[in-house]
Structure formats: structure tokens, C-alpha cells
């Protein structure tokens, strides 16, 4: 990834190849190609090596560095320092001598680079507890105690090299680290276009199957869970709790930003999750379509995709005429950034019910303002904003809102006992019902 980013930024790929070739390692090289996925283009770099590659010791690495004719004296010196520090770290972790250990990958943070997104001034004292250097890059964000390296597009590669050098210089100061051996797979990439495709294919892509599943009651409603993590509460705890409760109650969850990362770490973004945690109706839909019960729609600045999905649902028909009519809720249960407030207000203005969790909010001292943001805004634009601290209350209010919207649309009352029992053994039972009851058993009651 680092090599790909450097090549995209302008580093000569052939110079890198010459450096690798000068190490005289048979079968080792670079595969560099351009890839396009979901409308994004990037450079992909893979290191090619023999299947049965050697595990080298420090002395072997230093010999390779010394005889690498394409390296400058400065590059050779830095390489020796890096591998010496790596060997010492490996020796300490494994309780062996520097000469006895062989190299494999490790990871930790030598430098953290930030711009203007969701940054705490408190990062400085936290970084000071370790060997990490905090580097700010925007004139809008200069933090006392942090290193400021102003970003300039005309000098992007030069600045990137400077930051990488500073990180390398910090590496020898790394002390004992704890890196959890936990890996969680996920299925990302659910833009509104891909949701259309997943539900209907290339030629019949639409949100009709989603609307039908909500109308029938297989899916109770939709929750958009977005937003930050908040240092006032246990990291990820509210995200984990509310998402678990929603999918258990047959609510399809779409996510962006840090909320999506929280669910990915829990392993919620795979189709298999539906089999283990989802309610019976949502599980049937996820099994049929092959999607997770929690959909990753992108970064925190991709929330317009969620509004696009809601607008398409309203246009598709059967769930009212506006976003305000749909059984859906938006929330940021661990919000921290002012950006989350601005996102919340434009979602409310679009007709959505939005909950900000984890704190009482910046206007909790005024009942007048709180009432204006909830009841007042709902009368004007159809959406409302509420601050709710506890996870249980967030879930209760969200489900109550979804059920109210279902009732307002004339949809069948949510009944999970109707779903999750599909199979051949049900066919004779259904065929024996009168026509109206048969239709209701298969599709649920028709809504407006």
C-alpha cells in the first residue's frame, strides 16, 4: 500500500525496481498495475517472491543491504538502522538474541498524520505516553505540542518523504507493544448503485425488493448508524450494542465512517452474520440476496448516499411519498465532532428522524430549543433531532418510531413469528388456506 501510494504520488517505479534488482534476490520483483473498482482508480502493487521464500536473520539482511549497488549511502545507513531496530524488537518479544531471530511483519504507530477531520487536542498528551509523533498538516489545525508540516500540493512527494523519514527515525524508540491477533473479514462497497444491483441485477436493478420486504414485514425498517467514537464512553460500545439489537429485531442497518468500522471489527459485515444474529425476517432476505445485515456505505462524508437510498425508496412507491414517511431512523450513538451535528441537521431537513447518543447534547439547558429541534422541526420539515444518552433508550425510541411509521402507512404490525420458517413443509399448509389468507401468509398485508 505504501509503495502504491508513493508511485501514485510520483516516485519513479523503475527506480524502485532497480533497487530491488540490486539486492540479487532470485524471483523477487514488483507487479504494478492500475485497478478500478466501483468508479475509483488506484495503483496496486504486489511483491512477487518464490512460494518457499527464505526467513532471513539480521546478518543476512545487512549483507544484502551492503551489496545493493543501487542504494545511496544515506539509504544504506537508514536501512541498517531500521533492520537493527527491528531485530532488537523481535529479540525482546521472543526472548532470544538479536542474531537468533528471523524477520516477519509487525506493526505499530511511529507517526500519526492528521488534517481537519475529527481531531482531539488531547492526542498530544496521549502520543507523549509513547514514541509516536503527532503531525498536523492543515493551517486550520495547529495543536500545541504537535509537529506542524504544512501540506502543499506542489510539494506533495517531498512532504511525504519528510514524514516517512521522521517515522523511520522514531522506530528505534519503540518500546513493548500489544498488537491483538484479531482479524475480522468484511464485505464493503455498498453504494446506492450497488444496492440496486444486488437486489435486481444488471438489467432490473431497483429498490423494489427492499420496499416489498418492508411492506411484508420481513424487514421491520432501516437504521442508518453513522458517526464518531466518543472518549466519554467505552470505545465502540454504543455502536456495538445498538447494531446488535437492531439486526436481532429485523432492522436492516446501513453504516458509514467510524460506526461502520466498529461493526466491521465485530464481524457484522459478512453475510454469515445474518445466520447467527439477525432476526428471522431479515435473515431470510440476507440469505436470498447474499448480503450482510449491516451494509458499509463508505466514509463519514458519504452520508449523502444514505439520503439517496431513502429518496429512491420513496420514489419506488409503497412506503409513502417522502423520506419522512419511511420506517427509517438515522443516528450517531457516539457522536463527537461538530461535523456530526451538521450531518444530523441536513438529514433532519430532508425529513429523517435523527438520534445523537452518548451525551445530553450542547443545548440540553434549554427546553425551548430542544422542543424546537424535535416537535418544531417535525412540523416544518418532517424530521426531528433528539439527544439520547443510553443505548437502551436509543433502541427503544428508534423501534417505536419505525413501528409508528409502519402503522401510519397501514402496513402489517411487525410479527417476527411469521418469518424464518420457510421450507417445503409449509407449502401444503399455505395452499390449504383461502386465497386472501394465502396471499397474506406469503406477502403480508398490503400497505398503502
What pLDDT, on the 0 to 100 scale, is given for residue 448?
A: 45
Q: What is the model's pLDDT at position 421?
A: 67
183 and 289 Cβ atoms separated by less than 8 Å: no
Nearest CA among 314, 119, 358 for reference residue 225: 358
**CATH topology for 107-176?**
Rossmann fold (3.40.50)
Digits of tens for pLDDT over the chain (448 positions)? 778 888 888 888 888 888 888 888 888 888 888 888 656 778 888 888 775 556 688 888 898 889 888 888 888 898 899 888 888 877 776 666 788 777 654 447 899 999 888 888 888 888 888 889 999 999 998 999 999 999 999 999 999 999 999 998 988 888 777 676 777 888 888 988 888 888 887 778 889 999 999 999 999 999 999 988 887 788 899 999 999 999 999 999 999 999 999 999 999 999 888 778 999 999 999 988 889 999 999 988 888 899 999 999 999 999 999 999 999 999 999 998 888 899 999 999 999 999 999 888 888 889 999 999 999 999 999 999 999 999 999 999 999 999 999 999 999 999 998 887 655 556 677 778 888 888 887 777 765 4
**Residue range(s) of every CATH 3.40.50.2030 domain in the chain:** 107-176, 192-441
> 216: closest CA among 27, 381, 55, 439?
439
Cell 461535523 belongs to 339
Query: Could you give the residue ranges of the DSSP H alpha helices within 172-235?
Result: 192-200, 208-216
DSSP sequence for 61-105: HHHHHHH-TTS-HHHHHHHHHHHHHHHHHHHHHHTS-TTT-B---
| Its pTM surpasses 0.85 | no
Q: Which grid cell is 390?
A: 443510553
What percentage of the chain's residues is helix, strand, coil (to nearest 5)? 50, 15, 40
pLDDT confidence of residue 396: 97
Q: What is the pLDDT of residue 106?
A: 44
Query: 192-441 has which fold?
Result: Rossmann fold (3.40.50)
Q: Which residue has the cell 455502536?
A: 239
288 neighbors 310 (Cβ within 8 angstroms):
no
Residue 107: what pLDDT? Answer: 41
Amino acid at each position: 500500500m505504501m509503495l502504491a501510494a508513493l508511485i501514485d504520488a510520483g516516485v519513479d517505479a523503475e527506480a524502485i525496481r532497480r533497487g530491488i534488482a540490486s539486492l540479487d534476490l532470485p524471483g523477487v520483483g514488483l507487479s504494478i498495475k492500475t485497478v478500478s473498482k466501483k468508479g475509483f482508480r488506484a495503483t496496486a502493487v504486489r511483491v512477487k517472491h518464490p512460494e518457499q521464500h527464505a526467513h532471513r536473520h539480521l546478518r543476512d539482511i545487512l549483507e544484502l543491504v551492503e551489496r545493493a549497488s543501487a542504494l545511496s549511502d544515506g539509504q544504506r545507513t537508514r536501512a541498517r538502522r531500521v533492520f537493527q531496530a527491528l531485530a532488537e524488537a523481535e529479540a525482546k518479544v521472543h526472548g532470544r538474541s538479536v542474531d537468533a531471530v528471523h524477520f516477519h511483519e509487525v506493526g505499530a504507530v511511529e507517526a500519526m498524520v492528521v488534517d481537519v477531520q475529527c481531531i482531539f487536542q488531547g492526542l498530544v498528551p496521549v502520543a507523549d505516553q509513547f514514541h509516536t509523533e503527532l503531525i498536523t498538516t492543515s493551517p486550520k489545525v495547529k495543536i500545541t505540542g504537535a509537529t506542524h508540516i504544512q501540506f502543499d500540493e506542489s510539494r506533495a512527494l517531498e512532504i511525504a518523504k519528510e514524514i516517512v523519514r521522521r517515522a523511520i527515525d522514531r522506530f528505534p524508540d519503540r518500546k513493548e507493544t500489544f498488537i491483538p491477533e484479531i482479524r475480522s473479514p468484511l464485505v464493503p462497497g455498498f453504494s446506492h448503485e450497488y444496492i440496486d444491483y444486488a437486489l435486481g441485477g444488471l438489467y432490473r436493478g431497483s429498490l423494489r425488493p427492499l420496499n416489498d420486504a418492508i411492506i411484508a414485514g420481513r424487514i421491520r425498517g432501516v437504521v442508518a448508524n453513522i458517526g464518531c467514537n466518543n472518549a466519554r464512553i467505552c470505545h465502540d460500545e454504543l455502536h456495538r450494542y445498538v447494531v446488535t439489537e437492531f439486526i436481532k429485531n429485523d432492522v436492516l442497518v446501513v453504516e458509514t465512517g467510524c460506526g461502520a468500522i466498529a461493526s466491521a471489527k465485530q464481524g457484522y459485515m459478512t453475510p454469515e452474520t445474518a445466520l447467527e444474529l439477525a432476526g428471522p425476517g431479515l435473515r431470510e432476505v440476507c440469505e436470498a440476496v447474499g448480503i450482510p445485515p449491516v451494509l458499509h456505505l463508505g466514509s463519514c462524508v458519504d452520508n449523502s448516499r444514505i439520503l439517496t437510498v431513502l429518496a429512491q425508496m420513496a420514489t419506488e412507491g409503497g412506503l409513502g411519498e417522502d423520506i419522512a414517511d419511511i420506517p427509517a431512523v438515522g443516528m450517531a450513538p457516539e457522536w463527537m465532532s461538530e461535523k456530526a451535528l451538521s450531518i444530523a441537521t441536513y438529514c433532519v431537513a430532508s425529513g429523517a428522524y435523527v438520534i445523537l447518543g452518548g451525551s445530553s447534547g450542547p443545548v440540553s439547558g434549554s427546553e425551548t430549543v430542544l422542543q424546537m429541534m424535535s416537535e418544531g422541526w417535525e412540523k416544518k420539515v418532517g424530521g426531528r433531532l433528539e439527544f439520547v444518552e443510553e443505548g437502551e433508550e436509543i433502541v427503544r425510541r428508534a423501534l417505536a418510531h419505525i413501528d409508528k411509521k409502519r402503522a401510519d402507512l397501514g402496513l402489517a404490525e411487525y410479527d417476527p413469528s411469521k418469518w424464518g420458517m420457510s421450507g417445503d413443509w409449509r407449502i401444503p399448509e399455505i395452499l390449504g388456506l383461502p386465497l386472501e389468507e394465502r396471499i397474506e401468509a406469503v406477502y403480508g398485508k398490503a400497505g398503502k
